[in-house]
Amino acid sequence: MNQSSDPGYFDKESTKKLLWRLLWGVCIFFLILELFIERHGHFGDHSLDSYFGFFGLLGFFSCLVCILIAKGLGLFLKVKEDYYDRDII
Amino acid sequence: MIEILFKSNPAFLFFAGAIILPFLKGHLRNIVAIIIPAISFFIIHNLVPGTLETLPFLHYDLSILRVDKLSKAFGYIFTLSSFAAMVYGYYQKKSLEFVSTLVYVGSALGVVFSGDLFSLYMFWELMAVFSTFLILANKTSKSMAAAKRYILVHIAGGLILLAGIILHINGTGSIEFTHFATQNLSTWFILIGFLVNAAAIPFSSWLPDAYPEATILGGVVLSAYTSKTAVYTLARGFAGWDILIMIGCGMAIYGIIYALLENDMRRILAYSIVNQVGFMVCAVGIGTPLAISGAVAHAFCHIIYKALLWMSAGSVLYRVGKSKCTEIGGLYRTMPLTLLFGLIGALAISSVPLTSGFTSKTIIILAAEYQHLVIPWLILEIASAGVFLHAGIKFPYFVFFNVDRGLRPKEAPPCMLIAMGFLAFLCIFLGCFPETLYNILPDAELVKSKMAYTFSDIYIHHFPKVVTQMQMLMFSGLVFFLFLPMLKRTDTISIDFDWGYRKGTTYFYKLMDVVLNSLNKVADSVVIRKFVPAFYNLIIAIPVFVLLLLARVTWVIRQASPDTIQKERLLIHSQLKAATFPIGMSAILTLILFAVLFIL
């Protein structure tokens, strides 16, 4: 029950470090792999999505924007759990 | 009569099961609950597309059974998923949830297989009513309140649908449910009625409001039918309506943003239903045969992996009794199988290669590409990256990893594991061999001519697609872990469209109270307290003035003394105020009035 004396496999610092390396490794691997494949733009040969790394960047930035929007909206939208239970009249 | 019913719509088998079930006990009851969807699956398999069974009712012929490839595809998945849900719910000791589930799923099948708007509406309302019991059965004050709001929203949506149907029948004279080609009031009402059930924005908030308050089995069951039945009705009635593209894209993004804000694991999954249904609604809006097939394929796969995700969340709730990310975590130690199955569901919803999401979502995105819908295409791609963020990583991470809170629950019961294992297998099977799925789509040949459908074709010949997909997902995952501090869960809920009817109405009431009551006060002081007395005095003053004028003439003629004048003046005043004139006087005054009128 005590987490400090009995850290699970995924709670160990070494595992976390390994997973971080794995994540970066996989990202770079798929980026490099793109060099060896032939692909075309979905909207003509010179459309934006035909450039190298488009989907990686798309994934990265769209998620970043989503997080930032969510964070920003959270300032206005997040309320306490009992928000609707409170009477306002 | 009964024979006709059983021979026709598969819904009635479910209804019959719901009637029998309360009289059965123990294992027999649970086994019957599992067998009914299984039998229905084979009944639906044997239905021949093109079949039409009618039933005369009043002056119309109700098409109680209409079979085509579209309805059959939904029939397959509804029975398949309810079978899995019944296996999952084997732990149930009471029949209430089974009975509501049977009627609910049965009515969903009823909607899918009925060919006219009358029967569709009847099943539609049955669905709303019996799904409410799955929320009520949780028996907490929160679930009671959520169920109340849920049924109110659905009754409102149902009434709008009914109004549309009545106007439509009145306008066209036909009760047949086919594609609506013209845009007028009736079709717009029907569209809104359908969109309410599809949880389309701005009618979306009932879903994340109600589903997370349902029972464990209820959440699993609810996740599949209401919104997907709506997708079916939209696909049949409103394919190609451009507004649906916008609504769908909006839903896809909205689902992501709200899921990111959410703390409750089942509410995260509820928002991701809205996100996924957004893909389908968008596909319906695109409206080409390929897009419609894509919507059906995606609905099919979505029901499987979403049920799987709800099941894994349900197992956690069953064992831990908690569902907030701020209260759970580190469950991978003691619930590894639940984690494994949940993870497969999470990968499938994120359309990771080798899972069903990859083979179904791609059809929709391809359909957008073929129509040169660049912006919707981009939004769908962004949304698929976002799905990985909130459902693919956030859900398993916060539930099974994150902080170890010292929770050491037992692994989920066998019935739950079996059901999850079955669905997890389907997720991977459809991801590797989607031909089985493509064959039952409305335009199977078209889909198979545009999409790779054998394992080698998808993962070897079309390897670049796999690379770009993995690239997008892995970088999304990278963002998640890089910005994890920003995603830290807080013990909060988020204001959604339901603010309108949960708080907005109260504010509206208060506003009306202030406006109308102050108006009332002003009216009281101006009209009642000032104007009316003044008017009253005026009404008295005019006759007094006239009478005194006349009296003055008589005083001059009579040469009356000041005492007499004073006395008579007072008499006139008092008599007029009390309106007590001698009869003679009144008669004379009336005569004068007539004379004046006559002269005028």
| Closest A-chain CA to B478 | A23
CA distance B176 to chain A (A): 40
Give the number of domains in chain A.
1
Residue B187 near residue B164 (C-beta atoms within 8 A): yes
**Which among B261, B468, B473 is the nearest to A74, CB-wise?**
B261
B94 assigned to some structural domain: yes
Q: Is A12 on the interface with B (CB under 8 A)?
A: no
User: Inter-axis angle of helices B374-387 and B356-370, to 10 degrees?
Assistant: 160
Beta pairing, strands B52-57 & B60-66: antiparallel
Put simply, the answer to whether B483 touches A11 (Cβ < 8 Å) is no
> Which position has the higher pLDDT, B5 or B359?
B359
> Which position has the higher pLDDT, B558 or B375?
B375
Does B114 share its domain with B15?
yes
Does B488 share its domain with B536?
no
Place of tokens 């992996």: B305
Burial class (CB in 10 A: 0-12, 13-18, 19+), B256: buried
Give pairs for B502-509: CB < 8 Å, separation 24+: B502/A84, B502/B149, B503/A83, B503/A84, B503/A88, B506/A88, B506/A89, B507/A88, B509/A89
Residues of B in contact with A39 (CB under 8 A): 464, 467-468
Put simply, the answer to whether A59 touches B472 (Cβ < 8 Å) is yes
Give the per-residue pLDDT at B452.
86
Residues of A in contact with B388 (CB under 8 A): 59, 63
Put simply, the answer to whether B472 touches A55 (Cβ < 8 Å) is yes
CA distance B73 to chain A (A): 29
Does B422 share its domain with B555?
no
Burial class (CB in 10 A: 0-12, 13-18, 19+), B270: buried
In angstroms, rounded to a whole number, what is the distance separating the alpha carbons of residues B368 and B371? 5
Place of tokens 């086919």: B178
CB atoms within 10 A of CB B542: 11
* pLDDT tens sequence across B446-472: 988 988 888 888 888 888 889 999 999
Put simply, the answer to whether A60 touches B480 (Cβ < 8 Å) is no
In angstroms, rounded to a whole number, what is the distance separating the alpha carbons of residues B277 and B244? 11
Residue A13 — left, alpha, or beta (φ > 0 → left; ψ -120 to 50 → alpha)?
Answer: alpha
Helix (H, G, I), strand (E, B) or coil at A81: coil
CA distance B147 to chain A (A): 15
Put simply, the answer to whether B257 touches A69 (Cβ < 8 Å) is yes
Amino acid at B561: S
In angstroms, rounded to a whole number, what is the distance separating the alpha carbons of residues B600 and B590? 15
In angstroms, rounded to a whole number, what is the distance separating the alpha carbons of residues B387 and B354? 17
Domain range enclosing A20? 9-82
A68 assigned to some structural domain: yes
- Judged against a pLDDT cut of 80, whether residue B430 lies above it is answered with yes
Place of tokens 């009847």: B122
Residues of B in contact with A16 (CB under 8 A): none
Does B10 sit behind a cis peptide bond, omega within 30 degrees of 0 on the bond before it?
A: no
Give the per-residue pLDDT at B417.
94
B477 assigned to some structural domain: yes
Percent of chain B with pLDDT over 70: 99
Does B159 share its domain with B218?
yes
Its ipTM equals: 0.89
B517 assigned to some structural domain: no
Q: Is A18 on the interface with B (CB under 8 A)?
A: no
When pLDDT is cut at 50, 70 and 90, the band that residue A51 belongs to is: confident
Does B491 share its domain with B580?
no
Residues of B in contact with A78 (CB under 8 A): 261, 490, 492-495
In angstroms, rounded to a whole number, what is the distance separating the alpha carbons of residues B265 and B245? 29
Residue from B141, B205, B475 to probe the interface with A (highest A Cβ count within 10 Å): B475
A88 assigned to some structural domain: no
Residue B299 near residue B228 (C-beta atoms within 8 A): yes
- Average pLDDT in the A37-49 region? 77
Give the number of domains in chain B.
2
A48 assigned to some structural domain: yes
- Average pLDDT in the B178-204 region? 91
Q: Is A82 on the interface with B (CB under 8 A)?
A: no
> Which positions ≥6 away from A11 have C-beta within 8 Å?
A3, B330, B404
Amino acid at B226: T
Domain range enclosing B100? 2-497
A1 assigned to some structural domain: no
Does B479 share its domain with B530?
no
When pLDDT is cut at 50, 70 and 90, the band that residue A3 belongs to is: very low
B353 assigned to some structural domain: yes
Dihedral sign for Cα B393, B398, B403, B405, please: negative
Residues of B in contact with A64 (CB under 8 A): 479, 483
Distance of CA B28 to the CA centre of its chain: 35
Size of interface A-B (CB pairs under 8 A): 151
When pLDDT is cut at 50, 70 and 90, the band that residue A16 belongs to is: confident
> Which position has the higher pLDDT, B132 or A44?
B132
Token output for B82: 């309810």
User: Inter-axis angle of helices B265-286 and B243-261, to 10 degrees?
Assistant: 170
**Which among A2, A30, A80 is the nearest to B474, CB-wise?**
A30
Alpha carbon separation from B203 to B127, B129, B464 (Å, rounded): 18, 18, 39
* Residues paired with residue B61 on neighbouring β-strands, in sequence order: B56
22-61 in chain A: CB under 8 A from chain B:
23-24, 26-27, 30-31, 33-34, 37-39, 42-43, 53-60
Put simply, the answer to whether A81 touches B470 (Cβ < 8 Å) is no
Put simply, the answer to whether B261 touches A11 (Cβ < 8 Å) is no
Does B409 share its domain with B344?
yes
A47 assigned to some structural domain: yes
Give the per-residue pLDDT at B5.
53
**Which among A43, A64, A79 is the nearest to B493, CB-wise?**
A79
| Domain end among B451, B482, B497 | B497
In angstroms, rounded to a whole number, what is the distance separating the alpha carbons of residues B380 and B429? 24
DSSP symbol at B298: H
B510 assigned to some structural domain: no
A3 assigned to some structural domain: no
Dihedral sign for Cα B214, B219, B225, B226, please: positive
- Judged against a pLDDT cut of 70, whether residue B4 lies above it is answered with no
- Average pLDDT in the A52-62 region? 89
Q: What angle do CA B417, B420, B425 make, to 5 degrees?
A: 120
A13 assigned to some structural domain: yes
- Average pLDDT in the B361-378 region? 91
**Which among B374, B386, B469 is the nearest to A43, CB-wise?**
B374
Does B200 share its domain with B285?
yes
B508 assigned to some structural domain: no
Q: Is A1 on the interface with B (CB under 8 A)?
A: yes
- Whole-number average pLDDT of chain B: 90
CA distance B255 to chain A (A): 11
* pLDDT tens sequence across A58-81: 999 999 999 999 889 888 888 887
Does B156 share its domain with B260?
yes
CA distance A16 to chain B (A): 11
- Average pLDDT in the B524-537 region? 91
In angstroms, rounded to a whole number, what is the distance separating the alpha carbons of residues B302 and B212? 18
Q: Which of B404, B331, B335 is nearest to A2 (CA)?
A: B404
Give the per-residue pLDDT at B7.
64
Phi, psi angles (nearest 5°) of residue A7: -75, 135
Does B124 share its domain with B179?
yes
In angstroms, rounded to a whole number, what is the distance separating the alpha carbons of residues B164 and B429? 41
Helix (H, G, I), strand (E, B) or coil at B57: strand
DSSP symbol at B442: T
**Which among A8, A81, A88 is the nearest to B506, CB-wise?**
A88
Residues of B in contact with A20 (CB under 8 A): 481
Put simply, the answer to whether A83 touches B493 (Cβ < 8 Å) is yes
